[in-house]
Amino acid sequence: MNRPKSVPLMSAMALFAIVAVVASIAIPAWRNHRIADRLDQALQAGEAAKLVVMEAATTRGGLNRIRPEDLTFNAQSSLNDYVSGVDISESGRITIATKNTGASPDPVFLLTPLDIGNGGHDAALSWSCDLLAGDRQWTPPRCTRPDTPAPAPATTSTH
């Protein structure tokens, strides 16, 4: 029995084609996962700044009463491999600039505090996250805007 010499070559080419198809799917998925993980780490860097804003709002009795001196924050302590800067504005908004994430261009996030409390010392805050710069496809799942409650229906009286 004589086997044709082309059978091992054909088998090798078929195996190579299968590996190429799997790689064409797996490599982009792995890259996207890495970018998403890095952006999630970058958002995590904003947690300390959120605490500063929440403390100021609670101490002063609401977001509208905070003062710039209440928002003292050591931004260097929040930097990591994927964050180039964290800044708190006078209104309590937090800007997180990213770096080395693999996304092009590196995203910039804006965290906006929303006063959902009753304005007293128990002023609760919710956070809205927006992408200021970068491709929307890289917006992490935890970067969301809270749902706004539907307005109460108008009551009408009929006489």
Instruction: Give the CA angle between residues 113, 70, 94 to the nearest 5°.
Output: 35
Cis ω for the linkage preceding 28 (within 30 of 0):
no
Q: Is the pLDDT of residue 156 over 60?
A: no
CATH topology of domain 12-133: Glycoprotein, Type 4 Pilin (3.30.700)
pLDDT (mean) for 112-120? 71
Taking only the tens place, the pLDDT of each residue in 52-85 is 888 888 887 778 788 888 888 777 777 788 888 8
Do 63 and 117 contact (CB within 8 A), yes or no? no
Taking only the tens place, the pLDDT of each residue in 18-45 is 888 887 787 777 777 788 888 888 888 8
Instruction: Give the CA angle between residues 113, 118, 124 to the nearest 5°.
Output: 40
β-sheet bridge partners, residue 135: none
Question: Which residue ranges make up each domain of the chain?
Answer: 12-133
State the pLDDT at residue 121.
53
Do 56 and 92 contact (CB within 8 A), yes or no? yes
pLDDT (mean) for 104-125? 76
Q: Is the dihedral of CA 36, 39, 41, 47 positive or negative?
A: negative
Helix (H) or strand (E) holding 9: helix 6-44
Q: What percent of the chain has pLDDT over 70?
A: 83
Do 101 and 107 contact (CB within 8 A), yes or no? yes
- How many angstroms separate the CA atoms of 28 and 140, rounded? 17
- How many angstroms separate the CA atoms of 156 and 158, rounded? 6
